[in-house]
Structure 1
Amino acid sequence: MDGDGRHGQTIGARGMRDRAREFVAQATARNRIPLDFSVGSLRVVDFLIEGLRKGGRERAEIAGALFGLGAYVGEVLVRRAGAVWIDFDGEQREFFGQRVGVRMPDGRVWNPLGKVVNCLERGGTGGSEPSLQSFYLTLPGRVRHAA
């Protein structure tokens, strides 16, 4: 799903919206995947992650796809929950293991890139990680009707 080779390691907060759009263009070019940045489309992302898990490939092999999915999830938070993309400071980078994340209207900071990885590693049937759609619906600090 991602052919940039960098897996987004040099993309800052300003580039995440474009990265999410690029991911959607790549993912939908060959398939009719309904990725429209809606809350409902997070269920589709859950299915895509489940497919990656069942594919059994090494995480390094799918790092670009995971980054694209994380960018997409973050952009859903931006468009639907009132979040904004931010560059993490040094302490946040160390804690989250990522360069970027989102800040919610109430000031809370979330890591959608890491959330996707957690869903891959701990999600699925019987897993400890809730679905991305459930995550959104129970997310504190979101606005109800963001543009």
Structure 2
Amino acid sequence: MTTWISTTATAAPGARPSAAARPVRWAADAVTALREGARLRLDYSARSLWSVDRMIEGIRREEAPYAAVETVLRGFGAYAGEVIVRETGGEWWAGGGDHWVRTPDGRLWDPIDEARRCYAGDGSLRLLCREATTSP
């Protein structure tokens, strides 16, 4: 079952919905890992996703096994989702262990899956964010 938890309905003003807890943590972990490991500072801007796409491309070129990079990709996807949330005022949705972003126009986005698609050579977090932040 997919559930959406509204910030205004379930939390104090300024609080995040509970569906955001895990992806926000995964995104923060990715930011920390890139700052410490690659000396790359991410600022939750749409522009920063260009660097994330390049990092994923580098990992793919190294032919790292998916199992070895699965957690990193989840973090990159969660980071992209947080960028979309912050740029659009969207919210995280969660259900069945999966997490999506719902933008105010009602569209659903799966940035974590998009990170996996990037690793497979068929996706872009930067382009996903661009699409999510433009009106349909």
Q: TM-score, normalised by structure 1?
A: 0.71
Residue of structure 2 in register with 1:9 after alignment: none
Q: C-alpha distance in 1, partners of 2:38/2:119? A: 21
Q: Secondary structure at the match of 1:40?
A: helix
User: Deviating runs (4+, > 3 A) in structure 1?
Assistant: none
Structure with a larger share of its residues in strand: 2
Alignment correspondent of 2:104: 105
Identity of aligned residues (%): 33
Question: Among 33, 55, 61, which residue is 2:62 paired with?
Answer: 55
Shift of residue 24, structure 1, vs aligned partner:
0.6
1:22 is aligned to: 29
**1:139 aligned residue (128, 132, 135):** 132
Structure 1: unaligned runs, 5 residues or longer: 1-11, 124-128, 143-147
Give 1:141 deviation, angstroms.
5.9
> How many residue pairs were aligned?
118
| 1:10-62 deviations in Å (ceiling 9; x for gaps) | xx532221221122112211332131100100100110110111010111111
Partner of 2:119: 120
1:78-108 Cα distance to aligned partner (Å, 9 max, x none): 11122211113xxxx5xxxx61111110111
Cα-Cα RMSD: 2.1
Return the structure number with greater helix share: 2
